[in-house]
Chain A
Amino acid sequence: MRAMTTLAVAAAVLSLGAAEVKAESLKIGIIESLSGAQTSTGRLFASAAQYVIDQINADDGFNGSPIEVVEYDNAGGTTGAADRFRQAVAEGVHIVVQGASSAIAGQITEDVRRHNIRNPGDEVLFMNMGAEALELTGEKCHFYHFRFTTTAPMRVNALVSAMSEEGDLGSRVYSINQNYSWGRDMEEAIRAAAEAGGYEVVDSDLHEVNRIQDFSPFVAKIRASEVDTVMTGNWSNDLLLLMKAAGDAGLDVRFGTTFLDQVGNIANAGETAVGHYIAHLVNLELEDEAWVQDYEQVTGHVPVYIEPQTVNAMLLLREALSDLDFGGEDIDVTQIGLALEKATLEGPNGTLSIRQEDHQIVTPVVVSRIDEGAKYAVDETQWGFVPVKVVSAEEAMYPVQDSCQMDRPD
């Protein structure tokens, strides 16, 4: 008990010391899964964000001093995230960055909302890098939440548009998804796009998340329904095992996927992944070679999976910050939010911006096919993502959800 008290007192002295240096320098807290099952993804978000912040700091920093970055480990759970959020706020963090898991993003966005209601003038802003649940820009939307990734309708619309142009979509589609908010969002989007894509959703499945070891019953169902294309929002094992089961059964269908670019997937799926499609935010082949090389130089690998979109998000923040000048005084997070709404970024595929009504990023979506001959082969295989079509932001975008009632500060 005494040792505990000593520890507590020692830490108290430290934290008191930390509280005094507050203000002036912009503080960004990365609350990610840095231990546990989601670590590999959590680390990618953190390193990509760090990459841009290092660049900003190499220039001038912001408000007369370098931007400070603090990493917090949420241990892969919402309870850990809630604790870390409180710690971050206590340590004077202005902007919270997170991406892996919609459930954790849901926790953080609500924590931010409550904090801002209780502490006017001392707001915190949340940059959501990868959580795609629709409710985050719907029911749960608020001014201080910004989403820098796509949602189910954006990915599905892009897939449908590119695959039908390539003549690989067909008229019969099977929808198979995980039974939770993301999977249900996907299924709804697949049904909604049927008319525009000229296909019929023959059958659909919602299954348990990451619990199924054998997908052959589903594959048998898919075979019996005689479809041309299987559309799925599955990720991780649910995607790999599904594709492998289909490959083993010699099923002749195309897959339209959303997370096939997760690190290790292509190596794992091997030959069975070839010829299938993915809708993602960035295809490196279309990007400026200089920054890809620079990223590899700095971090040791070319940007993968969610790293490019996180870099883009941070570049938008950089853009927003460049319009602001607090003259070394206290940082007004609301001003940063307003500037972020107006920030734009010219990418190789078009302009990136923020939709004011719900703070959803407006971004083109790239559809790629897994094939040989890609400029950047992935996972040390001969395959990579060959760009098929860039779907413009206007075409991929979906209407603002009615459930989003945003209270604006101005």
Chain B
Amino acid sequence: MARVWQLLLFVLIMAVLIGLPPLLGAGLQNAMTNMLIAALFAMAFNLLMGQGGMLSFGHAAFYGVGAFAVMHLMTAIDRGGLSFPTPLLPLAGAAAGLLVGLVTGWFATLRSGVYFALVTLALAEMLHSLAPHWEGLFGGEAGISSMRMPWGGFIFGQVIEIYYLTLIWVTLSIGLLYAYTRTPFGRLTLALRDNEERVRFMGYDAHATKMIVFAVSATFAGIAGGLLAVSNEQANYELFGTHVSAQVVLHTFVGGSTVFFGPAIGAAIFTLFAYLVSDVSRSWLLYQGVIFVLVMLYAPLGIGGVVMLHLRHWASIPWQRMVGPYAGATAATLLMAIGTVMVVEFLEALFSPHYVAQRRQAETSWPAFERFGASWEPFGILTWGPPLLLLIVGLLILLRLRHRIVALWDEVQETAETAARSGA
């Protein structure tokens, strides 16, 4: 039964990904392209992190290397010296990712844990500081820029064409990554995470195995970077920046590293969040950070992990008793979110240069400010009262409901444990 549902969900998502974009504007089509690329990057990262148990802080290195490789190939085609099918450009990213992944993987996987993370961090940082000075390879701080050439009847000038090209590549790549988990080597990767020493005792070369996992992860990160280069027709040293490495860690953790599709979910949500919210509010980075902290504190398994937990215990969850508290908690979260947004936006308005100018022109020392299409008094009860009330009410409801939800889940866990015991 669960298999049928999973298949249905998969078909539905694919239908949306294929059918929706032509109905959207080019801006959203581009945002969805970025979403797919971020999803693939996070999935590639999670092969190493979630499955191999190696936390890399420098995955931007392979992402960037993939992008630059594609740019060099694109330039070679553009200058007319080479004929190469445009849709296959990301192959250059894969090759570069694999090569660099093998070489650096050999070094990095000599150590594990924190030392491994530091080596990868240093690796990306090395490229980040080297790239602006190496004009020939990385094009200085402006980077390399080129143009996609038409191929096989496709112009590749419209965003929608790039979207579908990206969709095909991402679907194929994630399919391959999924297939990988089904192979004996994929099982070995999990074993490596769980107990490296035992893997060694079983007669495997742990270092070589880790190196291969590293290289495979780097290859797919290279494809993701390559797709970005195809989409942007430009690559520069910023791709090696720590924020790119941090972003993928963030996506993976919010989405859930223990679930196969978790990182893709996290990447999709955050990319769309950034696209939609950054136009509306200047404080969007703050909101993104708050969401990340909240997920880490209260749902360390990530969004995908929470969904999986519910799916796994679907039958034994007492839904009649659960629906009420869940609905209440959702409403309370919404109240708190509205309260937070109001407070943040009010503060932002009060500290904006626009308001400083207003204060200079106005007669009174603290004129009313505009926000959400209404006018607010800086020290008014009506300004600060409602958001604070929302925050307090929401918090109280959440605190009350939390106990009930936890109690209900304890029951669920107990049933599951007794079932497991009787089964054994």
Residue contact B353 to A106, C-beta cutoff 8 Å: no
Q: Is A392 an interface residue (CB 8 A)?
A: no
Given A79-B238, A181-B142, A297-B361, decide whether A208 and B26 contact each other with a Cβ distance below 8 A. no
Q: Is A82 an interface residue (CB 8 A)?
A: yes
Given A107-B145, A180-B141, A297-B361, decide whether A8 and B239 contact each other with a Cβ distance below 8 A. no
Q: Mark B241-268, 1 if CB is under 8 A from A, else 0.
A: 1000000000000000000000001001
Residue contact B234 to A110, C-beta cutoff 8 Å: yes
How far, in Å, is B345 (CB) from chain A's closest CB? 15
Chain B residues with CB under 8 A of A209: 132
CA distance A86 to B233 in the complex (A): 12
Judged by DSSP, the binding face of A is: helix
Residue contact A300 to B360, C-beta cutoff 8 Å: yes
Residue contact A4 to B269, C-beta cutoff 8 Å: yes
Q: Is B356 an interface residue (CB 8 A)?
A: yes
Residue contact B357 to A181, C-beta cutoff 8 Å: no
Residue of A nearest to B23 (CB): A12
How far, in Å, is A24 (CB) from chain B's closest CB? 19
Residue contact B236 to A103, C-beta cutoff 8 Å: yes
Our pick among A11, A34, A300 for the contact of B282 (Cβ within 8 Å) is A34
Residue of B nearest to A297 (CB): B361
Q: Mark A44-80, 1 if CB is under 8 A from B, else 0.
A: 0001000000000000000000000000110101110
Given A1-B13, A103-B143, decide whether A73 and B24 contact each other with a Cβ distance below 8 A. no
Residue contact A110 to B233, C-beta cutoff 8 Å: yes
Residue contact B143 to A106, C-beta cutoff 8 Å: yes
Residue contact A181 to B141, C-beta cutoff 8 Å: yes
How far, in Å, is B28 (CB) from chain A's closest CB? 6
CA distance A4 to B155 in the complex (A): 30
Residue contact A86 to B353, C-beta cutoff 8 Å: no
CA distance A82 to B132 in the complex (A): 19
Interface residues of A in 84-138 (CB under 8 A from B): 86-87, 89-91, 102-103, 106-107, 110-111, 114, 117-119, 133, 135
Residue contact B276 to A11, C-beta cutoff 8 Å: yes
CA distance A211 to B129 in the complex (A): 10
Residue contact B157 to A118, C-beta cutoff 8 Å: yes
Q: Mark A132-152, 1 if CB is under 8 A from B, else 0.
A: 010100000000000000000
Chain B residues with CB under 8 A of A11: 24, 28, 276
Residue contact B27 to A86, C-beta cutoff 8 Å: yes
Q: Is B221 an interface residue (CB 8 A)?
A: no
Given A86-B27, A86-B159, A90-B27, decide whether A299 and B357 contact each other with a Cβ distance below 8 A. yes
Given A1-B13, A86-B26, A110-B234, decide whether A181 and B140 contact each other with a Cβ distance below 8 A. yes
Residue of B nearest to A77 (CB): B238
Chain A residues with CB under 8 A of B23: 12, 16
Given A1-B13, A90-B25, A297-B361, decide whether A78 and B143 contact each other with a Cβ distance below 8 A. yes
Q: Is B121 an interface residue (CB 8 A)?
A: no
Given A35-B284, A107-B234, decide whether A8 and B272 contact each other with a Cβ distance below 8 A. yes
CA distance A286 to B128 in the complex (A): 43
Residue of B nearest to A90 (CB): B26
CA distance A90 to B160 in the complex (A): 12
How far, in Å, is A340 (CB) from chain B's closest CB? 24
**Interface residue tally on A, bucketed by range:** 35 or more
How far, in Å, is A91 (CB) from chain B's closest CB? 7
Residue contact A4 to B268, C-beta cutoff 8 Å: yes
CA distance A300 to B147 in the complex (A): 44
Residue of B nearest to A206 (CB): B133
Residue of B nearest to A298 (CB): B357
Q: Is A213 an interface residue (CB 8 A)?
A: no
Residue contact B272 to A4, C-beta cutoff 8 Å: yes
Q: Is B34 an interface residue (CB 8 A)?
A: yes
Chain A residues with CB under 8 A of B234: 78, 82, 107, 110-111
Residue contact B132 to A180, C-beta cutoff 8 Å: yes
Q: Is B89 an interface residue (CB 8 A)?
A: no
CA distance A12 to B239 in the complex (A): 29
Q: Is A290 an interface residue (CB 8 A)?
A: no
Q: Is A21 an interface residue (CB 8 A)?
A: no
CA distance A180 to B237 in the complex (A): 12
Interface residues of B in 1-57 (CB under 8 A from A): 9, 13, 16, 20, 23-28, 30-32, 34
How far, in Å, is B15 (CB) from chain A's closest CB? 10
Residue of A nearest to B361 (CB): A297
How far, in Å, is B348 (CB) from chain A's closest CB? 11
CA distance A117 to B16 in the complex (A): 32
Given A12-B23, A78-B238, A110-B145, decide whether A35 and B30 contact each other with a Cβ distance below 8 A. no
How far, in Å, is B362 (CB) from chain A's closest CB? 11
Interface residues of B in 216-234 (CB under 8 A from A): 228, 231-234
Q: Is B399 an interface residue (CB 8 A)?
A: no
How far, in Å, is B402 (CB) from chain A's closest CB? 22
CA distance A181 to B143 in the complex (A): 11
Q: Is B279 an interface residue (CB 8 A)?
A: yes
Residue contact B238 to A114, C-beta cutoff 8 Å: no
Q: Mark B300-336, 1 if CB is under 8 A from A, else 0.
A: 0000000000000000000000000000000000000
Max count, chain B CB within 10 A of own CB: residue among A75, A77, A87, A89 = A87
Q: Is B278 an interface residue (CB 8 A)?
A: yes
CA distance A173 to B359 in the complex (A): 47
Q: Is B285 an interface residue (CB 8 A)?
A: yes
Interface residues of B in 357-373 (CB under 8 A from A): 357-361
Residue contact A87 to B142, C-beta cutoff 8 Å: no
Residue of A nearest to B26 (CB): A90
Chain B residues with CB under 8 A of A300: 353-354, 356-360
How far, in Å, is A47 (CB) from chain B's closest CB? 7
CA distance A296 to B360 in the complex (A): 9
How far, in Å, is A143 (CB) from chain B's closest CB? 17
Q: Is A212 an interface residue (CB 8 A)?
A: no
Q: Is A224 an interface residue (CB 8 A)?
A: no
Residue of B nearest to A44 (CB): B353
Given A1-B13, A118-B155, A300-B357, decide whether A135 and B142 contact each other with a Cβ distance below 8 A. yes
Residue contact B133 to A12, C-beta cutoff 8 Å: no
14 residue pairs from A and B, CB less than 8 Å apart:
A8-B20, A12-B20, A12-B23, A15-B27, A77-B241, A78-B236, A79-B239, A87-B31, A91-B25, A103-B143, A107-B142, A107-B143, A300-B353, A300-B360
Q: Which 9 A/B pairs are nearest by Cβ-Cβ distance?
A: A300-B357, A90-B26, A15-B25, A87-B27, A106-B142, A118-B157, A90-B27, A110-B145, A300-B356
Query: What is the interface of chain B, defined by CB distance below 8 A to chain A?
Result: 9, 13, 16, 20, 23-28, 30-32, 34, 129, 132-133, 140-143, 145, 147, 155, 157, 159, 228, 231-234, 236, 238-239, 241, 265, 268-269, 272, 275-276, 278-279, 282, 284-285, 353-354, 356-361
